[in-house]
Amino acid sequence: MVRTFLARMDREIRGLHEAAYLLAAFSLVSQVLALLRDRTFAHLFGAGPELDIYFAAFRVPDVAFAVFTLVVSSFVLVPLFSRRSPSERLGALRSLVFYFGVAAVPIALVLMLSLDLLVPLLAPGFSAAALEETASLARILLIQPILLGISSILASYVQSERRFALFALAPALYNLGIIAGAMFLFPTFGMAGLAWGVVLGAALHLGVQIGPVMRGQGASGGLSVSEFTHSVITPSVPRSLTLFSTQLLLVAFAALASQIAVGSVAALSFAFNLQSVALTVIGLSYASALFPALAGHAHRAEWGEYAREVWVAVRHLVFWLLPATMLIIVLRAHIVRVVLGSGAFSWDDTRLTAAMLALFVVSLLAQALLLAFSRAYYAAHASLAPVCIAFASALGAAGLAFLSIHVVGAYPVMLYFLEALLRVSDVPGTEVLVLPAAFSAAMILAALVYVGLFVIRYGGSSVAARAFGTSFAASVAGAAAAYLALNAFGPLLPTNTFLGIFAQGVTAGAAGLVLWIAVLVLLKSAELRDITALVTARFLR
């Protein structure tokens, strides 16, 4: 049975939708485990000082990994492997792992020695004891980006052979390691146990990628230093800068949140993680499945097929993420309470996290489009636009957040509006709401810029425009049905138990989905027809 399972994991997949849905299925498993991880944290600590320390410490390895993408960027490594024979791939792989180790280990050591100076800049609102604990955890966590970096190199090799299942399984094992740390290591080692759980998860992430590499035979054609610099480092700079800008934005948000109220960093991180579930399962799955095909079309200068493939992906992102956005906004409190509402996680924690979740998901489709279009540009070796848009959006979001916090302190009218809209007027620490609001505003603007640039360079798609209109109408109808069902049936179900809250959310969500599908059928959605045909064909086969 195990051999059969591994054989299925190792099979080649070439169809865009099949690869995207397989990645989505495994991403869903991984995200369920991520939600279980966050529920474990919420149960143990609530949105309190311990998790403020943990999430602030995590910013250090995240920034380190952004630097390491100079070597491990799949945008560069997948095409590099794809252009080589099987034996040459193995030779290149071994060279890449060696060069990565030579670069990454010294960087990690320098960061470890500098943490006493860096951590006060990352969390200026923390006490001296909290800063010391944050630095201690960050030292352990800096092992993680080294392991994940090696795993990412191996994952690019696996992707180049279009063996997406193993690539998608790795994040699930990563989250399992973190959960194990919280459940088994924390009781013995305290907060350090959480950090060692992250290291365990990174080791599992690496371990699952090793199999296809070990089965390869006859490595040849390693990369010289000059070829490594020319073929990997130089083209990876744009992707590294893009990821680095995102991590700097999250660092800035954590620093601002640390000065608002105790638990603000934790609540902000919980809300961001929750909105990332749909983004990862749908947006990242499509973008990951899209990139190898786009790289092939760009290499052969098949620009018509290249543009068509991008717009197909956009249509399906719109199809899935518009209803997801609206249903999450309607059911935000139920989602947060079901996922996180346990133990030390209070009702005020729930309401504040739910309000931030709603503000984050406003830009859910925009974030997915950023993933898709950035990969499209990287596949075409047009890296200037992604870098400029990434830095502009990150700086814009950070600047707008910083300005908004000071504005609402002097003129709280905007804050009153957000509090009333999201029904959190009596919850302390609502100033943190301006952070996700600023984030979403910047992401939406960046996505609009991407769409405009792509249309100018490669042409638009009237089919994609119609898909947006159809999906928007169906999504509004579905959200309205969910809201009405929540008000009609909600009072009949208990609100003080997990099952009662879960039943309320499922009932309202089901009503919304039924009307969403009905409207799509009425409007003759091409995307619904495509998906139905794919599922039917796979089921019959």
pLDDT tens per residue, range 86-144:
778 888 888 888 999 998 999 999 999 999 999 999 999 999 999 999 999 999 999 99
For residue 30, tell me if it sits in a domain.
no
Q: What DSSP designation does 224 have?
A: P
Expressed as residue numbers, the domain containing 159 is: 49-235
For residue 214, tell me if it sits in a domain.
yes
Look over the chain and give the mean of its residue pLDDT values, rounded to a whole number. Answer: 87
Q: Does residue 3 carry a pLDDT above 60?
A: no
pLDDT recorded at residue 87:
77
pLDDT recorded at residue 381:
80
pLDDT band for position 355 (cuts 50, 70, 90): very high
For residue 349, tell me if it sits in a domain.
no
**147/359 Cα distance (integer angstroms):** 34
Query: How would you write 264-296 as a 3-class SS string?
Result: HHHHHHHHHHHHHHHHHHHHHHHHHHHHHHHHH
Total domains in the chain come to: 1
**206/7 Cα distance (integer angstroms):** 19
For residue 54, tell me if it sits in a domain.
yes
Q: Hunting for tokens 């009405």 — which residue is that?
A: 484
For residue 462, tell me if it sits in a domain.
no
For residue 85, tell me if it sits in a domain.
yes
For residue 455, tell me if it sits in a domain.
no
Q: Does residue 5 carry a pLDDT above 60?
A: no
Write down the pTM of the prediction. 0.86
Q: Is residue 198 within 8 Å of residue 59, measured between CB atoms?
A: no
For residue 485, tell me if it sits in a domain.
no
Q: Is residue 138 within 8 Å of residue 57, measured between CB atoms?
A: yes
What percentage of the chain has pLDDT greater than the value 90? 53
Structure tokens at 453: 């640039």
pLDDT recorded at residue 538:
61
